[in-house]
Chain A
Amino acid sequence: MSRYDRQIKLTEVGPGGQGKLRNAKVLIVGVGGLGCPAAMYLAGAGVGKIGLMDHDKVDMSNLHRQVLFQESDVARSKAVVAKERLEKQNSEVRFEVFEVPLTVENAENIINQYDVVLDGTDNFETKYLINDACILTNKPWVFASIYKNEGQLSVFNYKNGPTYRCVFPKSTRQNISCEATGVLGVLPGILGTLQAAEVLKIILGAGEVMSGRLKLINMMRASEQIIKINKRPEEVEKIRKNGIAPVYIDCDLKNKEQWYLDVREVFEQPKPKGKKVLSIPMSDLTLRYQEIPNNQEVFVFCQSGKRSKNAIEILKNEFGFHNLKNVEGGIETIIDG
C-alpha cells in the first residue's frame, strides 16, 4: 500500500495532487521552532524537494521546541542534522542543505529555484529580505512569527496578493527572539504546522489560502482572530522597481564611554554604533585578540549572552585577559532606547 494512501483518499489530494506534491520544491528558511515541525509534515506528505536553510548550530536550549533535534545533535549544524533525520523519515524526498544565512546577495538566486518559501526565521531583517526576494521572483511565502504566547500567520505575495510590507511597511529595531522572551515549545509547533498546511494548499491548489488575511493566535487565552489585510500597491512597486530594500538595523548603546566587544557574526543585527564598540566574530578571536584593550574594563556581548561567555573563557585562558565582563542578557539589555 502506498505510503501516501491516507492523504490520496482525500478529494483535495487524489493521485493528481500527490503528483503535484512530488513535483513541488519548498524552501524552509530557518530550521528552528517553526521550521522543524513544518519540515516533518512536508517531508511526510511527499513534497519532492525541500531546501533546509540555517547557519546556526543545535543548542541544548533548542530541544524543547525544535523537534527534529536530539541531545546528541548539540553543536552540530541544524540544517545538516535536519536533513539526516528527515531522510530517515522519507527517503523519497530530495533535500538541499544551505548552512549559510539568507543575504541580499544570495536570496533571489536561491528562492528562484523553489516554488514556495516557508519562513522559519526569528528576525525582521530576514523577513523583509524573504518578502522582497519573493516579490522579485514572483513566489508566494508563508509567514509566521511568535512573541511569548502569541503568534501571527499569513501567506504573502500569493497570486499578486498583499505582502509583508503591506502589513508592516516600516521595519522595526525591536527584534525580540524566543531566547529573550521565553516560549512554550507547542506554540511554534502550532504555527509551524499551520504553515505546512498553507504550503500544502498552495501546492495542491485546494481550499482557501491564508492570503489577504493575518491570523492572530493567543495560545494562553485560547483565542484566535483573523484580520483582513489589503495590498499597498505602492510598497510592492517600490521593490519591483528598485530591488531588495535591505533592512540595516543600527542602535546606540547606553554607555558611550564604555568599551564593548561584539563577538557576533557580521550579519547579526542590530549593529551598535560608537567608537568604543569593537566587532570581532568568535571565529576571528584568536587572530584579532590584540585589538582588544587589556588595561580597562571591556563588556563582551552577543545576542543572548552565551557566546560572549565562551569568548571570555577563551580570551582569559589562552590570552590572559582579566578585564572582560559578560553582558548576561545579550545585546537587548545594553541598547539605549
Chain B
Amino acid sequence: MKVTVKYFGLVAEATEKSEEVLDLNGTLTALELKVQCLNGLAIADKESVQIAVNQNLDDTITLKDGDEVALLPPFAGG
C-alpha cells in the first residue's frame, strides 16, 4: 500500500523532506509507522512527536492504501 507522509518542524529538517510517498508491506498502525519513520533520525525526543492520519490526531489507526500521515513535533517558539 502507498501512504503519503508529511513532515513538520524538526522532523522535516531531519528527513530533509516535507513529504514523501512510502510503499509499505503488511499491516501497520500509525504508531508503528511513526517509529519506523523516526528510526535513526537525529531527534532527541521522539516520543513527543504526534501522528495524524487523514488530518485526525490518532496513533492507533491501522493504515490503508492512500492514507495521508503527518508527523507533528511540538513547537515552543514565540
Interface presence of B18 (CB below 8 A):
yes
CB distance B45 to A173 under 8 Å? yes
- Give which listed residue, B45, B48, B57, B78, contacts A214 with CB less than 8 A: B57
Interface presence of B58 (CB below 8 A):
yes
CB distance A32 to B76 under 8 Å? no
CB distance A228 to B55 under 8 Å? yes
Q: Using Cβ atoms and an 8 Å threshold, which residues of chain B touch A122?
A: 76-78
Q: Given A147-B77, A177-B77, A178-B77, does the pair A337, B44 have CB atoms closer than 8 Å?
A: yes
Closest to B68 in A: A225
Q: Given A150-B9, A168-B48, A171-B48, does the pair A227, B76 have CB atoms closer than 8 Å?
A: no
Complex Cα spacing A216 to B75, Å: 11
Interface presence of A90 (CB below 8 A):
no
CB distance B44 to A124 under 8 Å? no
Interface presence of A330 (CB below 8 A):
no
Identify 16 residue pairs between A and B in the complex whose beta-carbon atoms are under 8 Å apart, listed by A's number. A34-B78, A122-B78, A123-B76, A124-B76, A145-B78, A147-B73, A152-B72, A167-B50, A168-B74, A172-B47, A175-B76, A176-B10, A188-B78, A227-B55, A227-B70, A230-B56
Q: Given A167-B50, A171-B48, does the pair A146, B57 have CB atoms closer than 8 Å?
A: no
The smallest C-beta distance from B51 to any residue of chain A, in angstroms, reads 10
Q: Given A225-B70, A227-B70, A228-B55, does the pair A174, B78 have CB atoms closer than 8 Å?
A: no
Instruction: Please give the number of chain A residues whose Cβ is less than 8 angstroms from any Cβ of chain B in the complex.
Output: 45
Complex Cα spacing A328 to B41, Å: 26
The smallest C-beta distance from B13 to any residue of chain A, in angstroms, reads 8
Q: Given A150-B9, A227-B57, does the pair A145, B52 have CB atoms closer than 8 Å?
A: no
Q: Using Cβ atoms and an 8 Å threshold, which residues of chain A touch B6?
A: 225
Interface presence of A161 (CB below 8 A):
no
- Give which listed residue, B8, B48, B56, contacts A150 with CB less than 8 A: B8
Q: Using Cβ atoms and an 8 Å threshold, which residues of chain A touch B76?
A: 122-124, 127, 145, 147, 174-177
Interface presence of A221 (CB below 8 A):
yes
CB distance B77 to A225 under 8 Å? no
The smallest C-beta distance from B43 to any residue of chain A, in angstroms, reads 8
